[in-house]
A and B are shown apart, each in its own frame.
Chain A
Amino acid sequence: MVASAVEVTEAATGIIRYTWLIAFLPVVSAALILFFGRRTPSKGSVYGIAALAAGFVMSLLVLLHFVQGGGPHEATAQWFQIGPLHLELGQYVDGLTAVMLIVVTGVSLCVHVYSLGYMHGDVRFTWFYFVLSMFTAAMLNVVIAGNLFQLLIGWEVMGVCSYLLIGHWYEEKVNSSAAIKAFITTRVGDIPFMFGIFALIFATGLTTTNIGHVGEIVADPGTSKVLVSAAALLLFGGTIGKSAQFPLHVWLPDAMAGPTPVSALIHAATMVAAGVYLVGRLYIVFIHADVQVLQFIGVIGAITMLGAAILALIQDDIKRVLAYSTLSQLAYMVALMSAGEAGRNAAFFHLFTHAFFKALLFLGAGSVIHAVHSNNMSDMGGLKKHMPTTFWTFLLGSLALAGIPPLAGFWSKDELLVVAKDGHPLLFAIMLTSALLTAFYTIRMVMLTFAGKYRGHGHPHESPVTMTGPLVALAAATAGVGFLGAPQLKAVFFDWVYFEEPEAIHFVASVAFTGTLVALVGAAAGYMLYREHKERDPLRAMGPLWNVLENRYYIDAFYMKGIIYPVRDKLSAAVYWTNQNILDGMVNGGAALARGLSHVVMAFDRYVIDGIVNGAGTIAGATGGLLKHLQSGNVQRYAAFLFAGVIALVIVFTRIA
Chain B
Amino acid sequence: MIRLPMILFFSAFLFSCGVYGVLARRNAVMVLMSIELMLNAVNVNLVGFGAALHDITGQVFALFIVAVAAAEVGIGLAIVILLFRSRGSINVDEVNLLKW
- Is B22 touching A639 in the complex (CB atoms < 8 A)? yes
Asked if A629 CB lies within 8 Å of chain B CBs, one says yes
Binds B, one of A107-115, A461-469, A630-638: A630-638
User: Shortest distance in angstroms between A84's beta carbon and chain B's nearest beta carbon?
Assistant: 84
Q: Tell me, yes or no, whether A643 is within 8 Å of chain B by CB.
A: yes
Out of B19, B95, B97, B99, which one reaches A643, CB within 8 Å? B19
Closest to A640 in B: B23
Q: How many Å lie between the Cα of A343 and that of B100 in the bound state?
A: 110
B19, B24, B92, B100: the one within 8 Å of A635 (CB): B92
| Residue from B23, B24, B31 whose CB has the most chain A CB atoms within 10 Å | B23
Q: Which of A631, A640, A643 contacts B100 (CB 8 A)?
A: A631
Q: Does A628 contact B (CB under 8 A)?
A: yes
Q: Are B23 and A636 in contact (CB under 8 A)?
A: yes
The answer to whether A629 and B100 touch across the interface, beta carbons within 8 angstroms, is yes
State the main secondary structure of chain A at its contact with B. Answer: helix
Residues of chain B contacted by A640 (CB below 8 angstroms):
23
Q: Pick the residue among B19, B31, B99 that contacts A633 (CB under 8 A).
A: B99
- Residues on A with C-beta less than 8 A from B100 are 628-629, 631
Contact between B23 and A632 (Cβ–Cβ < 8 Å)?
no
Picked from A629, A631, A635, the residue with its CB within 8 Å of the CB of B95 is A635
Alpha-carbon gap, A632 to B93, bound state (A): 10
Is B67 an interface position by the 8 A CB rule?
A: no
Q: Is A636 in contact with B99, judged by CB distance below 8 angstroms?
A: no
Say yes or no: B97 contacts A633, CB within 8 Å. Answer: yes
Evaluate contact between A633 and B96: CB separation under 8 angstroms: yes
Residues of the B chain whose Cβ atoms lie less than 8 Å from the Cβ of A634: 92-93, 96, 99
Q: Which of A628, A632, A639 meets B96, CB within 8 Å?
A: A632
- Which chain A residues border B97 with CB–CB below 8 Å? 633
Chain B neighbourhood of A643, CB < 8 A: 19, 23
Q: How far is the CA of A286 from the CA of B96 in the complex (A)?
A: 110
Q: Does any Cβ of A come within 8 Å of B6's Cβ?
A: no
Bound-complex Cα distance A629 to B100 (A): 7
- Taking A628-B100, A632-B99 as contacts, is the C-beta distance between A639 and B93 under 8 angstroms? no
CA distance A628 to B100 in the complex (A): 6
Instruction: Give the one of A629, A633, A643 with max B CB within 10 A.
Output: A633
Residues of B within 8 A of A635 (CB): 92, 95
A643 to B20, CA, bound (A): 11
Q: Is B98 an interface residue (CB 8 A)?
A: yes
Closest CB of chain A to B18's CB: distance in Å? 11
Asked whether, in the complex, the Cβ of B98 is within 8 Å of the Cβ of A636, the reply is: no
Report A645 CB to chain B, min CB distance, Å. 13
Instruction: Give the Cβ gap from B86 to chain A, nearest Cβ, in Å.
Output: 16
Q: Using a CB-CB cutoff of 8 Å, which residues 609-637 of chain A contact chain B?
A: 628-629, 631-636
* Shortest Cβ gap from A624 to chain B (Å): 9
**B99 cross-chain contacts in A, Cβ below 8 A:** 631-634
Q: Once the chains are docked, how many angstroms separate the CA of A633 from the CA of B31?
A: 16
B23 touching A639 by the CB < 8 A rule? yes
- Determine the chain A residues whose CB is within 8 A of the CB of B92 once the complex forms: 634-636
Contact residues in B for A639 (Cβ distance below 8 Å)? 22-23
A264 to B65: give the CA distance in the assembly, Å: 116
Point out the residues of chain A lying under 8 angstroms from B95, CB to CB: 633, 635
Whole-angstrom CA separation of A255 from B59 in the bound complex: 121
CB distance from B12 to the nearest CB of A (A): 13
* Residues of chain A lying within 8 A (CB to CB) of residue B31: 636
Residue of A628, A636, A639 with most partner-chain B CB within 10 A:
A636
**In the complex the two chains form, what is the Cα distance from A633 to B97 in whole Å?**
6
The residue of chain A having its C-beta at the shortest distance from the C-beta of B100 within the complex is A628
- Tell me which residues across on chain B come within 8 A of A633, comparing CB atoms: 95-99
In the complex formed, the residue of B with least CB distance to A628 is B100
Interchain CA distance A639-B99 in the complex, whole Å: 15
Q: What is the distance, in angstroms, from A238's C-beta to the closest C-beta of chain B?
A: 91
- Docked pose: A643 CA to B93 CA in angstroms: 18
Interfacial chain B residues near A636, Cβ < 8 Å: 22-24, 31, 92-93
Give the Cβ gap from A654 to chain B, nearest Cβ, in Å.
Answer: 15
Within 8 A of A (CB), among B13-34: 19, 22-24, 31
- Taken together as a complex, chains A and B put the C-alpha atoms of A640 and B95 apart, in Å, by 16
Complex Cα distance A577/B43, Å? 103
CA distance in complex: A643, B19 (Å):
8
Complex formed: what's the CA distance from A639 to B100 in Å? 18
Per the bound structure, the CA–CA distance linking A463 and B98 in Å amounts to 103
Instruction: List, sorted by A's number, 8 A–B pairs whose CB atoms are closer than 8 Å.
Output: A629-B100, A632-B96, A633-B98, A634-B96, A636-B24, A636-B92, A639-B22, A640-B23
Nearest 3 Cβ contacts at the A-B interface = A633-B96, A633-B99, A628-B100
Chain B residues close to A by CB (< 8 Å):
19, 22-24, 31, 92-93, 95-100
Q: A634-B96, A636-B31 are in contact. List 6 more A-B contacts (CB 8 A).
A: A631-B99, A633-B95, A633-B98, A634-B99, A636-B22, A639-B23
